[in-house]
Amino acid sequence: MLVTGIKSKPVYAPLQADTRGRYHLMLGMGVGAAPLLRVIFEMQSAAARVLKNTRVLYVPDGGSATPEIERFRAAAVGNAQTFPGTPALLEEFRSTLARSLMGTRLYVAGTESFIGLAMKIALEFNLNKDEIRAEECGTSARRVYCIHCRATTENVRTNIASCVGCGRWLLVRDHYSRRLAAYMGVMVDAEAPGELPPLKEMFL
């Protein structure tokens, strides 16, 4: 069974401004503020009017919200907003997409789980790979979907993890579903019960 090197694993690239878009919607989490600001400065030099059509939705990591949001505002972004957590941000993201027009580009910067959850919503609005850019930053902890009981275990940092639903030890594969925004977890000791590989930190 292939565990790593699976082609469904998303590949991310550093964010770049796509000035072919008319509207720019940015989602950020924690240290994701930095790549978003980088894109904003890139756009400032390209065409200042673009920034009027730019909107930032941002979740700070821990308590220090003010500096980042001030930096977005200082960068002359039309509309920057902070949220107490990812669920609130995603709710606003969904209602924003419902009002958005063709020509919108989406930029996401944050952990892979954050990107995955945002992409899942973007998919519902028929946004495709040409309209979305994502840069992974912060922890690469994974959301893991248990193929046996269908529960999703969040923040998995190790090669194997105990499922929150059924308690089985799951091997975390590179096989990734955008629809579920999760990696596949398969019982690791199904062939030889109790034979677990050593626990290793993998996704930090």
Q: Which of 15, 137 has the CB closer to other proteins? A: 15
Q: Which of 61, 92 has the CB closer to other proteins? A: 92
| Cα 19 from Cα 3, distance rounded (Å) | 38
Q: Give the β-pairing of 182-187 and 142-146.
A: parallel
| Cα 11 from Cα 174, distance rounded (Å) | 11
Residues 6 or more apart from 162 whose CB is under 8 A from it? 153, 168, 169, 170
Mask: binding to other proteins, 94-133, rule CB under 8 A, as x and -?
Answer: ---x--xxxxxx-----------------x-xxxxxxx--
For residue 172, the tally of other CB atoms under 10 A from its CB is 23
Q: Which of 114, 176 has the CB closer to other proteins? A: 176
Task: Give yes or no for residue 190 binding other proteins (CB under 8 A).
Answer: yes
Task: Give yes or no for residue 143 binding other proteins (CB under 8 A).
Answer: no
In this structure, are residues 199 and 160 in contact, taking their beta carbons and an 8 Å threshold?
yes
Task: Give yes or no for residue 145 binding other proteins (CB under 8 A).
Answer: yes
**Of 34, 151, 164, 187, the one binding other proteins by CB under 8 A:** 187
Task: Give yes or no for residue 192 binding other proteins (CB under 8 A).
Answer: yes
Task: Give yes or no for residue 46 binding other proteins (CB under 8 A).
Answer: no
